Amino acid sequence: MERGGIASNGPGTRLWVADAARNRVFRVRDPLTNPVVDIVLGQTDSNGTLCNQGNGNMPSQTSLCAPGNVTLDPWGNVYVSDDSLEVDGNFRLLEFDANLFPDDWPTALFGIPATRVFGRNGSFTDPYCHLFSYVYNFNLACGPLQPAFTSDGQMVVGMNGYIGSRFPLVYNTPLVSDQPDTYLNDFSSYGGYSAVFDSNNDLYITDLDRARVLVYRQPLASGTPAVSLSPTSLDFGPQGLGRPNTPQNTTLSNTGSKPLSITSIMVTGANRSDFSASDTCPRYPNTLAPGDRCTITVVFSPTGAGMRNAAVTITDNAPDSPQMVPLTGIGVGGKVRFR
């Protein structure tokens, strides 16, 4: 086995290993006590060893080709650098959400599809790098090496200097956007062969061309959670008195780089008794991870005629807390007197 990068979870009970020669990444359960391979990425069974599962240079959401590194972010999401030195592989970065991997499973799992791809404009099947720079005359996000993560989930990843950026890319919210936000502009060499942040968010990154390690003292500003709501308001229109209407939903997403801690979600306002809300969102001390979302469902059952107004009010640790979703509806009906 030709081993590439390795990554362990915090307690050391799960070990990830990149096997570039056999075009796979696998997880070892209980590596120090009773090692068992229980997950294999990139292949569909235990006999599979071919690049892109035998489909040449045509990648897919479940395939790998010469993966050189595997790294975990602070929430246990798995990042695979789907290429290796010198110039071999699919030249893309894949992310697999942590919830794809059961902690204990009776049999090995194969061919789990990736959640996100970097450097391909969102396409898992495109064999070519994108994000071309006319300034530097190459595709910036091509040939990712080892990514590194701050404690709040920001990512720095160097590229293969022969085909990609010689400036390591910085992603402030990699679970939200596959586009880099900036670069380590004072670094111009072989992309950063390997990198790691320490507990103080200081970055250590290797310069392969010059045989040295560079240290950046907290190069990235600390991130924050951010709330995005879609839609931003709910209009229920006319509705008979005392008759609940069809529920409407709004989706709450954490588009920031830190976990969102929600204290409360409630209906407020002058006619709050006319609206009721339920949701799938976690409450403190549980959190909504960057890139995750939950749903708020509202029902309108007017108790009076005319325009009715209220709001869903969300209290959390985002800078703009509390956020509000305006609610409107019209109560229709009343008592009828017969002669």
Residue 321: name the closest of 256, 231, 270 by CA.
256
Extract the tokens encoding 298: 């509202």
Kind and range of the H or E run holding 88: strand 88-96
Residues forming CATH 2.60.40.10 domain(s) in the chain: 227-330
Tokens 């204290």, residue? 263
- Tell me, what amino acid is at 23? N
- pLDDT of res. 133: 63
Q: What is the CATH number of domain 227-330?
A: 2.60.40.10
Nearest alpha-carbon partner for 43 in 97, 111, 106, 90: 111
The conformation of residue 202, written as its DSSP 8-state character, comes to -
For 236-262, the pLDDT digits (tens) are 999 988 787 889 999 999 998 888 999
What residue ranges of the chain are covered by domains with CATH 2.130.10.10?
3-216
CATH of domain 3-216: 2.130.10.10
pLDDT in tens, 262-285: 999 999 999 999 999 999 999 988
Q: Which two tokens stand for residue 331?
A: 């109560």
pLDDT tens per residue across all 339 residues of the chain: 456 789 999 899 999 999 999 999 999 999 999 999 999 999 999 999 999 999 999 999 999 999 999 999 998 999 999 999 888 999 999 999 999 999 888 899 999 999 999 989 899 999 988 766 655 555 678 899 999 999 888 999 998 888 888 888 999 889 888 888 888 877 666 667 889 999 999 999 988 778 888 899 999 988 789 999 999 999 999 998 878 788 999 999 999 888 899 999 999 999 999 999 999 999 988 899 888 999 999 999 999 999 999 999 999 999 899 999 999 999 997 654 445
How many angstroms separate the CA atoms of 30 and 287, rounded?
27
